[in-house]
């Protein structure tokens, strides 16, 4: 158990783990650096023969000239992609903020205070975690048509909150339960409930709050099912919905890979720097 | 309550101005109600209402051709689902996909956790790389595994050709597509499982491993008797999480196979999507979605009943 150095088996195991982690991503992402003809060649190429950045220029609306003089024209969907990037940012930030403001006190109450019907309320919140989006999709769509919320950022924020709130409540309850009940002492000392909450509990729960907000952000950023139905082709299109144009209508693997890579940067950045805190989440 | 005097000083001594002023404070119950009721109301409006609407639709025959009409037909949609061979086929695919996802997710998570645990000091940063697949969205994972698995573009073909075999290796075949999908789903979720298992493993006292060495346990016995027992609760919780996620999965399959080849990967969520959005048979789709919901609650309930009660933190 307490091996201090690499043995040959450990090196092998690490190599397999890295291959498992990166091969599936690499296989698609490499298209971003290849031309159409290179992608279409058979047998498939494992490495881009002449890596270039054309796709990244194309998806943001610029032509790109290869060294041999061929011009790869900008993508017709560039506007959607840029709009999607902007909207994804807006939706994710709004959703994260609202989720955290609303959920922190709720999770605290469920973790610390005893009151009647607590079990049932908790069960109701958890039930909404297990609802499959396909069963609420049509009702949402029908209601949104009547309210004029189809194709709006407001509409998308509301649906996304139904995903993030229950999950984050669930995660934070476990986290609050594990904190020492110092705030009881503060209450005995005569501090008000609000003061205790904002000045003692939330700062004590810093890392939990951080991870929970990051998870809310990830869920909002990665949401695709509702976006595909509610905002595709509208002014409120998000990045995943904008990208699906490269997948279904006119398949453009190079542009798809480039925009996928762009969409992965924020989640990767977050996961990379927060990994040591993830298991503090008391999901369990 | 008056602002300046109500704000307590930061010192731990009692308030300098004698006894604290009597303040009107909320009782625990009132406080709980004030913060939870708005959130619950929001969830009721945006979750229960669509669900109620779906329930309404499931008892009606809804038509769009020749103007919208909804005719009450009682339980006919539900009866229709039960005698629909497409439903039973999709149900079987869904269960197969779920079981394989849970098994692969837990096993691979366990494997990754052991590798991450044994990393020598100075190599811990590798953990930050292994977590990355978890941050990939389900639709992104679907796209990755679509290109990775297809015979025309896939890794299998490239690998076979490198070995001199001139043949297209297609993982997305009617026979194995469900297992391949589960494999991709496990790729997405295993890092999270691994991180939680790792956190558990690090709390196991080293003493126990010394004792195991004294007992001359081999590696497997040591893993089975020392490492595994404290992980049981985490494994149970993740089997529930993976079950729910696998049963709910839609975007991952939508971007990867669109239910194909043929109907080979048309799991329940995908079948419901086809019925509701392509065939516009809303009442029927809604009825079927309640069978799916029952399946989700039933399977997690069964997991708890047969396993969860026996393990605790």
Q: What does pLDDT average to over chain B?
A: 84
- Find the CATH number of the domain harbouring A219: 1.10.3720.10
Last residue of a domain, one of A55, A72, A89: A72
Q: Can you give the pLDDT at residue B4?
A: 42
* Span B185-223, pLDDT tens digits: 999 999 989 988 988 888 888 899 889 888 888 888 888
Question: What six digits make up the tokens of B214?
Answer: 């004294």
ipTM, two decimals, is: 0.89
Of A143, A163, A28, whose CA–CA distance to A92 is shortest?
A163
Percent pLDDT > 90 in chain B is: 33
Check CB contact under 8 Å for B292 and A5: no
Spell out which residues of chain B touch residue A270, defining contact as CB-CB under 8 Å.
135
**Using H for helix, E for strand and C for coil, what is the string for chain A?**
CCCCCCCHHHHHHHHHHHHHHHHHHHHHHHHHHCCHHHHHCCCCCCCCCCCCCHHHHHHCCCCEECCCCCEECCCCCHHHHHHHHHHHHHHHHHHHHHHHHHHHHHHHHHHHCCCCCHHHHHHHHHHHHCCCHHHHHHHHHHHHHHHCCCCCHHHHHHHHHHHHHHHHHHHHHHHHHCCCCHHHHHHHCCCCHHHHHHHHHHHHCHHHHHHHHHHHHHHHHHCCHHHHHHCCCCCCCCHHHHHHHHHCCCCCHHHHHHHHHHHHHHHHHHHHHHHHHHHHHCCC
Check CB contact under 8 Å for B285 and A138: yes
Tokens 């008892």 sit on residue: B59
CATH number of B84-308: 1.10.3720.10
Spell out which residues of chain B touch residue A159, defining contact as CB-CB under 8 Å.
46
Of B187, B192, B201, whose CA–CA distance to B114 is shortest?
B201
Asked if residue A195 and residue A101 are part of one domain, the reply reads: yes
Question: What six digits make up the tokens of B200?
Answer: 């558990």
B182 touches chain A (CB under 8 A): no
A240 vs chain B: nearest CA distance in angstroms? 8
pLDDT band at B243 (very low <50, low <70, confident <90, very high): very high
Asked if residue B20 has pLDDT above 80, the reply is: no
Q: What is the mean pLDDT of residues B264-293?
A: 90
* Span B85-140, pLDDT tens digits: 999 999 999 999 999 999 999 999 999 999 999 888 888 888 889 989 999 999 99
Q: Can you give the pLDDT at residue B23?
A: 54
Asked if residue A124 and residue A31 are part of one domain, the reply reads: no
A63 vs chain B: nearest CA distance in angstroms? 25
What parts of chain A have a pLDDT lower than 70?
A: 1-6, 279-284
Best of A138, A170, A177, A276 to substitute, by most chain B Cβ atoms within 10 angstroms, is A138
Q: What is the DSSP letter of B122?
A: T
| Of A127-131, A156-160, B245-249, B275-279, the least confident | A127-131
Nearest-by-CA chain A residue for B227: A1
Percent pLDDT > 90 in chain A is: 30
Q: What is the mean pLDDT of residues B80-88?
A: 90
Q: Which residues of A108-123 are buried (b: 16+ CB within 10 A; e: fewer)?
A: bbbbbeebeeeeebee
How far, CA to CA in Å, does A199 sit from each of A78, A101, A177, A185, B275? Answer: 46, 15, 18, 13, 52
Asked if residue A83 and residue A66 are part of one domain, the reply reads: no
Query: How many domains does one find in chain A?
Result: 2
Helices B177-201 and B138-149, packing angle to 10 deg: 130
- Establish, for the pair of chains A and B, how many residue pairs have beta carbons separated by less than 8 Å: 272
Asked if residue A83 and residue A68 are part of one domain, the reply reads: no
Examine residue A166 and state whether it is found in any structural domain, yes or no.
Answer: yes
Nearest-by-CA chain B residue for A103: B39
**A132 closest CB neighbour out of B153, B254, B289:** B289
SS3 of B266, please? coil
Examine residue A1 and state whether it is found in any structural domain, yes or no.
Answer: no
Q: What is the mean pLDDT of residues B163-183?
A: 88
User: For chain B, what are the domain ranges?
Assistant: 84-308
A171, A212 contact by CB (below 8 A):
yes
Of B124, B241, B117, whose CA–CA distance to B186 is shortest?
B241
Check CB contact under 8 Å for A3 and B120: yes
**B140 closest CB neighbour out of A115, A264, A279:** A264
* Residues with Cβ within 8 Å of residue A283, at least 6 apart in sequence: A170, A171, A174, B196, B237, B241
Asked if residue A153 and residue A118 are part of one domain, the reply reads: yes
Q: Can you give the pLDDT at residue B313?
A: 53
Spell out which residues of chain B touch residue A193, defining contact as CB-CB under 8 Å.
25-26, 31
Examine residue A93 and state whether it is found in any structural domain, yes or no.
Answer: yes
Examine residue A3 and state whether it is found in any structural domain, yes or no.
Answer: no
The boundaries of the domain holding residue A47 are 8-72
* Span A179-196, pLDDT tens digits: 887 777 877 887 877 788
Tokens 């006190």 sit on residue: A105
Q: Can you give the pLDDT at residue A282?
A: 57
Asked if residue A34 and residue A105 are part of one domain, the reply reads: no
Asked if residue A95 and residue A33 are part of one domain, the reply reads: no
**B212 membership: H or E segment, kind and range:** helix B206-214
Asked if residue A263 and residue A146 are part of one domain, the reply reads: yes
* Residues with Cβ within 8 Å of residue A248, at least 6 apart in sequence: none
d(CA B224, CA B187): 24
Spell out which residues of chain B touch residue A110, defining contact as CB-CB under 8 Å.
36
A4 vs B10, which has greater pLDDT? A4
Examine residue A2 and state whether it is found in any structural domain, yes or no.
Answer: no
Q: Can you give the pLDDT at residue B12?
A: 45
Asked if residue A116 and residue A216 are part of one domain, the reply reads: yes
**B135 closest CB neighbour out of A103, A114, A267:** A267
Asked if residue A64 and residue A82 are part of one domain, the reply reads: no
Last residue of a domain, one of A72, A91, A123: A72
A77 vs chain B: nearest CA distance in angstroms? 19
SS3 of B235, please? helix
d(CA B273, CA B263): 13
d(CA A122, CA B294): 19
Asked if residue A186 and residue A212 are part of one domain, the reply reads: yes
Of A143, A129, A280, whose CA–CA distance to A205 is shortest?
A280
């Amino acid at each position: 158990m307490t091996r201090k150095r690499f043995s040959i088996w450990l090196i092998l195991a690490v190599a397999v783990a890295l291959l498992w982690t990166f091969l599936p991503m690499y296989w698609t992402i490499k298209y971003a650096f290849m031309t159409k003809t290179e992608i279409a060649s058979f047998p498939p190429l494992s490495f881009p023969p002449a890596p270039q950045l054309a796709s990244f220029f194309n998806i943001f609306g610029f032509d790109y000239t290869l060294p041999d003089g061929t011009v790869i024209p900008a993508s017709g969907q560039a506007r959607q992609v840029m709009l999607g990037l902007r909207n994804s940012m807006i939706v994710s930030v709004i959703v994260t903020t609202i989720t955290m403001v609303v959920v922190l006190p709720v999770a605290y109450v469920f973790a610390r205070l005893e009151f009647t019907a607590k079990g049932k309320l908790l069960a109701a919140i958890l039930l909404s975690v297990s609802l499959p989006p396909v069963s609420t999709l049509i009702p949402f769509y029908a209601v949104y048509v009547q309210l004029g919320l189809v194709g709006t950022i407001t509409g998308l924020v509301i649906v996304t909150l139904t995903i993030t709130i229950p999950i984050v409540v669930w995660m934070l309850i476990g986290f609050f339960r594990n904190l020492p009940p110092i705030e009881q002492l503060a209450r005995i000392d005569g501090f008000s409930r609000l003061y205790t909450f904002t000045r003692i509990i939330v700062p004590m729960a810093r890392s939990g709050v951080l991870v929970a907000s990051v998870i809310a952000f990830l869920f909002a950023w990665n949401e695709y099912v509702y976006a595909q139905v509610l905002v595709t082709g509208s002014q409120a299109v998000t990045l995943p919905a904008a990208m699906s144009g490269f997948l279904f209508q006119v398949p453009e693997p190079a542009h798809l890979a480039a925009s996928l890579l762009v969409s992965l940067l924020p989640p990767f950045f977050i996961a990379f720097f927060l990994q040591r805190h993830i298991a503090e989440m008391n999901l369990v | 309550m008056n602002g300046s005097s109500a704000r307590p000083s930061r010192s731990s001594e009692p308030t300098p101005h004698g006894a604290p002023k009597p303040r009107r404070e909320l009782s625990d119950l009132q406080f709980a109600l004030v913060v939870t009721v708005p959130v619950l109301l929001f969830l009721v409006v945006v979750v229960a209402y669509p669900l109620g609407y779906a329930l309404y639709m499931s008892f009606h025959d809804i038509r769009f051709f020749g103007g919208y009409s909804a005719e009450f037909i009682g339980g006919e949609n539900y009866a229709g689902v039960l005698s629909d061979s497409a439903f039973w086929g999709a149900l079987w695919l869904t269960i197969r996909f779920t079981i394989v996802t849970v098994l692969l997710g837990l096993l691979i998570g366990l494997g990754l956790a052991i590798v991450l645990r044994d990393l020598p000091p100075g190599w811990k940063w590798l953990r930050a790389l292994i977590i990355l697949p978890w941050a990939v969205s389900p639709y992104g994972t679907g796209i990755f595994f679509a290109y990775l698995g297809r015979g025309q573009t896939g890794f299998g073909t490239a690998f076979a050709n490198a070995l001199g075999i001139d043949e297209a290796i297609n993982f997305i075949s009617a026979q194995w597509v469900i297992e391949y999908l589960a494999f991709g789903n496990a790729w997405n979720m295993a890092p999270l499982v691994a991180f939680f298992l790792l956190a558990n493993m690090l709390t196991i006292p080293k003493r126990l491993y010394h004792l195991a060495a004294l007992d001359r346990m081999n590696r497997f016995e040591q893993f089975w008797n020392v490492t595994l027992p404290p992980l049981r609760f985490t494994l149970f919780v993740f089997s529930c999480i993976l079950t729910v996620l696998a049963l709910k999965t839609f975007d991952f399959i939508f971007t990867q196979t669109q239910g194909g080849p043929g109907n080979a990967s048309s799991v329940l969520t995908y079948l419901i999507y086809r019925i509701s959005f392509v065939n516009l048979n809303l009442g029927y789709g809604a009825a079927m979605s309640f069978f799916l919901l029952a399946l989700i609650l039933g399977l997690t309930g069964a997991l708890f009943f047969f396993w969860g009660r026996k393990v605790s933190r």
